[in-house]
Structure 1
């Protein structure tokens, strides 16, 4: 099954809603995680219903900033664990599986004053339970300098992010280091999906891919939890470990 994560940068106008509907029609995701909706819970509920998603968890924007939404189709069984203005943490069961797995939609703060609090949140989430776990969303950080292309605007200290922050989230750091993070390069690699070994074992044919959708730093992520390879007669494609 396919799922989508996207920093939509606001859904307050008809054009943005049309873009979202087009993406949903093109990929038919079973759930979507949206960041920076910039809408109240009531307006976001109306917007997602207009896109065909009756079920959802909506988090209010703060004025013109933030706002999260996790919406899903009836074929999904979603149980909420926790949420904040920076995350939505749920347990997921797909109709084709008896095994639950954990999904955390994560929105890293773009403001330096809140960064310590956000990474402490991710650390606490990593200590809350075991099992197959996927974290995906807009981390608002780059991991390495090669994840940035184009005009130089100042690179954050590479060691500081990879060692200091991700050491706190120890269940995730190896996925960055060892290539379990499946991604492509964009101007700044802000959006990504990171899975632990148990999730990768549960979905050995699963993948995470960026869609070339806009000119911003935020490209939609498509997550595929495929269990059966429709092209089994061909060798499996492996992403290069950057």
Structure 2
């Protein structure tokens, strides 16, 4: 059985020359069959040809709202087949099929920084988990933390008042 390579990257902006250079390098070094990019901040239409030329000829897209968010699920159709079943502004859920592998479910997540919207995502994921009968991978950016020690800011003026 061959390896199954997936690249998940919270790129925090796609489309500039640094992104393209890094993306080419990641693809050449790791040979992913599936790409999950979050927080793309640009519409996919500006990058479609770039990914087609890299061999990723199929995609399910949640474009950002303004310059916020975005989830791109791309794949190489020569190696894997993907069927999206649920697409929202916070998750793309899809069934993954590859020859010689059991079919499985992927949830590509870019959770909203808004705690109320993020709570809706968590509720949806919990509901999905209760009914899940196949192997399931949940991957992405969750914009959440377990406790305040996990939260960091690189701004010298950030106020750490947690009480």
Tell me which interval the TM-score lies in, with the shorter structure as reference length.
0.7 to 0.9
| 1:142-161 correspondence to structure 2 within 5 Å | 142-144=145-147, 147=150, 154=160
Question: 1:30 corresponds to which residue?
Answer: 33
After TM superposition, the score normalised by the length of structure 1 is 0.57
Could you report, residue by residue, the CA deviation over 1:1-42 in whole angstroms, capped at 9, with x for unpaired residues? 211111111113122111111111111111011101112232
Could you report, residue by residue, the CA deviation over 1:27-67 in whole angstroms, capped at 9, with x for unpaired residues? 11110111011122322423422432111112211111111
Question: 1:136 corresponds to which residue?
Answer: 139
Question: 1:80 corresponds to which residue?
Answer: 84
Structure 1 position 93 matched with structure 2 position 97: yes
| 1:3-42 correspondence to structure 2 within 5 Å | 3-42=6-45
Structure 1 position 109 matched with structure 2 position 109: no
After TM superposition, the score normalised by the length of structure 2 is 0.82
SS at match of 2:55: coil
1:146: how far off?
Answer: 6.0
SS at match of 1:10: coil
Q: Which moved more, 1:106-115 or 1:10-19?
A: 106-115
2:52 to 49, 53, 65: 49
SS at match of 2:89: coil
Cα RMSD between the aligned structures?
2.5
Gaps of 5+ in 2: none
SS at match of 1:79: strand
Gaps of 5+ in 1: 158-242
Whole-angstrom distance in 2 between the partners of 1:26 and 1:62: 31
What is the number of equivalent residue pairs in this alignment? 156
- Cα pair distance change 1:150/1:38, threshold 3 Å: closer
| 1:170-181 correspondence to structure 2 within 5 Å | none
Contact 2:71–2:109 under 8 Å retained in 1: no
1:127: how far off?
Answer: 3.8
1:68 to 60, 68, 71: 71
Whole-angstrom distance in 1 between the partners of 2:9 and 2:161: 23
Contact 1:76–1:92 under 8 Å retained in 2: yes
SS at match of 2:56: coil
